[in-house]
């Protein structure tokens, strides 16, 4: 990782004003590296309604491939955000569920999602306008 030359600019007190990157952005990096891929938040959001098995998940998360779902779930399990329970039955049954930590991610994600919903139109329009005046 990178050492922090935060002292480069002693005169700027903005680190105190905005804790979002008080550590040089390491926190943001961490959370983004964790959840900013294409499927993680979607899977977490789907699991938010309760435990679910693989195929169910596959149906409920539109567009995800088996491969990506599999990878995403494994990472969630690895990070301690979801549990995987395999039942020794035939046919096999595997159920996924959020851990308390996984569930604690829902609220922050929801905040962001709400922001997205509220501002989506404005952003869309801003883009269109920008593209229109920029050939």
Give min distance, CB of 77 to DNA, in A: 10
92 binds its own copies (CB under 8 A): no
Task: Please count the residues of this chain forming the interface with its own copies, following the rule CB under 8 A.
Answer: 75
| Residues 110 and 84 sit within 8 Å (Cβ to Cβ) | no
Cβ count near 107 (within 10 Å): 9
Q: Of the listed pieces 7-15, 62-70, 104-112, 122-130, which binds DNA according to CB under 7 A?
A: 62-70
Q: Which two tokens stand for residue 72?
A: 């995403």
| Residues 79 and 9 sit within 8 Å (Cβ to Cβ) | no
Binding mask of the shown chain, residues 40 to 59, with x at each position contacting DNA by CB under 7 A: -------------xxxx---
12 binds its own copies (CB under 8 A): yes
Per CB under 8 A, the list member of 54, 58, 79, 94 interacting with its own copies is: 79
| Residues 59 and 69 sit within 8 Å (Cβ to Cβ) | no
- The three-state secondary structure class of 88 is coil
- The three-state secondary structure class of 22 is coil
Per CB under 7 A, the list member of 44, 64, 81, 82 interacting with DNA is: 64
Q: Which one of DNA, its own copies, none interacts with residue 10, CB within 5 to 8 A by kind?
A: none
Q: CA 63 to CA 52: how far, in whole Å?
A: 17
Interface with DNA by CB under 7 A: which residues? 37-39, 53-56, 63-68, 70, 73-74, 84, 86, 91-95
């Amino acid at each position: 990782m990178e050492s922090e030359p935060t002292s480069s600019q002693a005169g700027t007190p903005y680190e105190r004003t905005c804790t979002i990157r008080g550590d040089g952005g390491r926190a943001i990096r961490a959370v983004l590296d964790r959840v900013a891929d294409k499927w993680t938040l979607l899977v977490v959001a789907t699991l938010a309604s309760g435990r679910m098995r693989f195929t169910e998940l596959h149906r409920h998360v539109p567009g995800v491939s088996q491969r990506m779902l599999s990878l995403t779930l494994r990472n969630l399990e690895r990070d301690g955000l979801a549990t995987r329970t395999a039942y020794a039955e035939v046919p096999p049954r595997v159920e996924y569920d959020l851990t308390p930590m996984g569930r604690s991610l829902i609220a922050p994600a929801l905040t962001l999602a709400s922001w997205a919903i509220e501002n989506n139109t404005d952003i869309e329009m801003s883009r269109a306008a920008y593209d229109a005046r920029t050939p």
